[in-house]
Amino acid sequence: MKKLLLIILLTAAAAAVFAGEAILISFSGTVEIQEPGGEWKAAEAGQFVSSRSMISTGFGSRARLKAGGMMLQLQPLTRVSISSLVQKGNTASTQVSLQSGRVRASRPPVTRAKRRSIDFRVSTPVATAAVRGTDFEMGANNRLVTNEGIVEFSNEELRVFSYGGTSVWAKELDGFIRPASSAWEIWSVSPVAGSFSREFSSFSSSALENLGIVRVDLE
């Protein structure tokens, strides 16, 4: 009976969910942080940032945070909210709400022993970018630039995969990305310039533009 109880307790501990914290690694210029229910205060390097906190950078100012296994760089005149930051077992789940400006998220190199599953998302009111690769930039204008790897770009109706070296953005059409027909719910973006596809079917750039999705290849 004691052995059974010990096994149950160990299993529960392994599956426990912990509220995580982000760390402000460095910054330049004017950077302020507002904790939940608190006032805006000047940031300090090495400061822990809890879930539901807001971070703001001033003119010509930048900030670098480590959150959920990712490095998040805030560009000047950017405001974000750490909506959710949870650690469950070996999986880190982070949700960042981008209100203005631009951020860049990248996964720093880690040893195999320290590698963990990462669910990192950056959202605007129109769309969400989710990590499937290592390096991407997201703006409050709903434009995603994928520097390396693959990033999922979606809302409740439509999903696009952006490969390294490409840019995708969502046009705001009545507050959401105009959905495709139910027959084409999931889209993937081919690495071939100007080619969009879902499995065996291809669509032109103009066709996707009518759906509110535009893609260009970076030079």
- What's the rounded mean pLDDT across residues 73-82? 93
Is residue 101 within 8 Å of residue 76, measured between CB atoms? Answer: yes
pLDDT interval class at 126 (50, 70, 90): confident
13 versus 27: the higher-pLDDT residue is 27
Q: CA nearest 77: which of 61, 88, 66, 94?
A: 61
Quote the pLDDT of residue 190.
36
Region 186-201: mean pLDDT is 34
DSSP string, 130-141: EESSSEEEEETT
- In three-state secondary structure terms, 66 is strand
pLDDT at 191 over 50: no
pLDDT score at 31: 96
**Residues 75/104, Cβ–Cβ less than 8 Å:** yes
Place of tokens 């990192």: 120
Mean pLDDT of 59-85: 91
To the nearest whole number, what is the mean pLDDT of the chain?
69
At residue 50, does pLDDT exceed 80? Answer: yes
pLDDT at residue 125 in the model: 81
Ordered structural domains, the chain, with CATH? 17-169 (2.60.120.1440)
Q: What is the pLDDT of residue 75?
A: 93
User: How buried is residue 112: exposed, middle or buried, by Cβ count under 10 Å (0-12/13-18/19+)?
Assistant: exposed
Confidence check: pLDDT of 76 > 80: yes
**C-alpha torsion 91→95→166→186, nearest 10:** 80
The pLDDT, as a whole number, for residue 171 is 60
Kindly tell me if the per-residue pLDDT of 211 is higher than 90: no
Where residue 130 falls among pLDDT bands split at 50, 70, 90? confident
Higher pLDDT pick, 84 / 12? 84
